[in-house]
Amino acid sequence: MNKNDIVAVTFLDHVESGPGVGPLKFTVYGRVISVDARAVVVCSWAYADTRRRNDHNTTAFTILRSCILHHCVMKKTERK
């Protein structure tokens, strides 16, 4: 996964309260806005113009790499 790739990321998320409840699988679809050794940030409501800054009008999810079960790059970033 690289910055600006369009991805689907399936990951484990914590669950609050409830007996016998463990982590659940979730999938987020969107554009990768940040990648580092520890986490991937996927923006599911992002501007089409990748040069525009992400702000309060966007929705981003920070996912720890250790929680990612599967990812699929649906559209690769074109390198210039």
Residue 16 to residue 76: CA distance in whole angstroms: 35
pLDDT in tens, 13-65: 988 877 778 889 999 999 999 999 999 999 988 877 777 776 777 889 999 99
What confidence score (pLDDT) does residue 29 get?
A: 95
Residue 66 to residue 76: CA distance in whole angstroms: 22
Report helix, strand or coil for 57: coil
Pairing of strands 6-13, 24-35: antiparallel
**In the chain, where the domains are located:** 6-75
Comparing CA positions, the residue from 21, 17, 31, 15 lying closest to residue 67 is 15
For the entire predicted model, the pTM comes to: 0.83
Residue 20 to residue 33: CA distance in whole angstroms: 35
pLDDT band, residue 80 (cuts 50/70/90): low
